[in-house]
Amino acid sequence: MSFMPPTDSMFLLAESREHPMHVGGLQLFEPPEGSGPEFVRDMLEAFRSHEVSALFRRRPAEPVGSLGNTWWKVDDSLDHEYHVRHSAVPQPGRIRELLQLTSQWHGSLLDRHRPLWEAHVVEGLADGRIAVYSKIHHSMVDGVSALRLMQRSLSTDPEDRDCVPPWAVPTRAGTATPRKGFDPVGVLRAGAEAIGDVAGLVPASLRIATQVVRDGDVTLPRAPKTILNGPVGGARRFAAQSWEIERIRRVAKSSATTLNDVVLAMVSGALRQYLLELHALPDDPMTAMVPMSLSLRADTTGEEAAPGNATGAIVVNLATDREHGATRLEEIAYSSRQAKKIMGDLSPTQVLAFSALQMLPLALTPVPGFVTYTHPPFNVIISNVPGPKEPMYFNGARLDGMYPVSIVLDGQALNITLTSRDRYLDFGLIGCRRSVPHLQRLLTHLETSLAELEQAWG
């Protein structure tokens, strides 16, 4: 047994029926030309036959869920058929049916008596593609690391037939959790334990924030209350779609903004339209929390990227009160520049402290009534995780989509996480099934929103 650090165990402690603390991914694969129905079987066989790495054989030692320290135990009798499942979409086998299944799978809790991960190899799509949905508990690995493991299981060579699934990829750190420093989702709702951790940062953070505000560049936007910021239930709804990066890049170039700004503007326009239709658009502009890796910050300021992957977060004004896409993009770009400028002036430690301060209210969400009666620290979380830059393959099957499926929390009923893949941006939208009705409409609105920006800056 090995000791489970609080940065891991807080995800077990904070988990409840309404707040599963696992992250997921939905991958689409195009089988190699000429392959028949046996390809699914072969893939399943490949997924089940490899030796599982130490990381994926760990499970929490009993007793689980008590408030004391918890330990990792290595499972020496892994039940491959349990962890890797064979599933099928019903007729007519569209992406829509696949997304419905994904919603169901993502809404159920992992069994704590086993290593905390599951995968489904899914057949039955009318277009012949194969889907793989996988989920892993946030106490075992964070979302970014999970996506990286997924990537490392793929090959750039379509002829390569020696691919291993993510759970068989050797991890450098052995049994240690590959957690990446400051973790936004972690602080967001880590229960009673984490409040103390975050509170410890307050004095330092306050000093920094005071400094920042005195410098007079910007005040932290105050997020309005929206339907996305109430308590959540246990059921989920998932939507996913890909967009060509080139379309977004063209808008960024002609508007002299960044790719990230254009993505935020896409989401802003989509949220505006979605909430207008539900008669629920707030008068005040909505805000988004955007996790930023320090290396991304380094890109902006020209500094050397810090080693490791410590992550901070900025809060950006989404300008959802503005009618025109072009205006929204301008305000977003301005707000984002200001936030990054502040970040750029801070040391990495200061960045973490400053980020923690902005998220402090969210750490209090386990307090009853807190979500219902207070303003949210921001309205939605939008994460952009870099993915592979070229076409990738698993034993000859081309990766045709890699949609992150993240976590929703009390007060944050919608999470949008995207990842780049080859020439595409793959958007994964996960929402509370009750608080975020008709989630799939956001996909249409995202397209409309991008088209409006293209027209304005074409």
Contact set with its own copies (CB under 8 A)? 17-18, 37, 40-41, 63, 79, 81-82, 85-91, 97, 100-101, 104, 107-109, 111-114, 123-124, 233-235, 368, 433-434
Q: Which two tokens stand for residue 99?
A: 């997304």
Nearer to its own copies, 101 or 146 (CB): 101
To the nearest whole angstrom, how small is the minimum distance from the Cβ of residue 124 to its own copies? 6
CA–CA dist 95, 303 (Å, integer): 43
Q: Which residue number, 97 or 261, has a Cβ lying nearer to its own copies?
A: 97
Which of 12, 185 has the CB closer to its own copies? 12
Handedness of CA 344, 208, 188, 227 (dihedral sign): negative
**Smallest distance, Å, CB 397 to its own copies?**
17
Q: What is the DSSP letter of 139?
A: T
When computed from its CA atoms, the radius of gyration of the chain, rounded to whole angstroms, is: 21
CA dihedral 355, 219, 286, 247 (to 10 degrees): -80
Quickly tell me which residue has 């194969």 as its tokens.
130
Nearest distance in Å: CB 255, its own copies:
40
| Nearer to its own copies (CB atom), residue 122 or residue 397 | 122
Number of C-beta neighbours around residue 368 at 10 A = 9
Per-residue CA distances from 297 to 186, 303, 325, 336, 384 (Å): 21, 8, 26, 12, 13
Give the burial string for 422-456 (b: 16+ CB within 10 Å, else e). Answer: bebbbbbbbbbbebbeebbebbebbeebbebbbeb
**Cβ(325)–Cβ(452) below 8 Å:** yes
Query: Which one, 12 or 357, has the nearer CB to its own copies?
Result: 12
Pair of tokens at residue 253 = 């170039």
Nearer to its own copies (CB atom), residue 181 or residue 234: 234
| C-alpha 128: how far from chain center | 27
In angstroms, what is the minimal distance from the CB of 14 to its own copies?
15
423 is written with which tokens?
């020439």
Q: How far is the CB of 136 from its own copies (least distance, A)?
A: 17
Q: How many residues does the structure list for the chain?
A: 458
CB of 108 to its own copies, least distance (A): 4
CA–centroid distance for 309 within its chain: 16
Three-state secondary structure call for residue 2: strand
Residue 137 Cβ vs its own copies, minimum distance, rounded to whole Å: 13
Q: Which residue has the tokens 């990842």?
A: 419
Residue 104 or 156 having the CB closest to its own copies: 104
Look up residue 343 and give its two tokens.
């970040």
List active site positions.
Answer: 138
Rounded-to-integer distance, Cα 47 and Cα 60, Å: 23
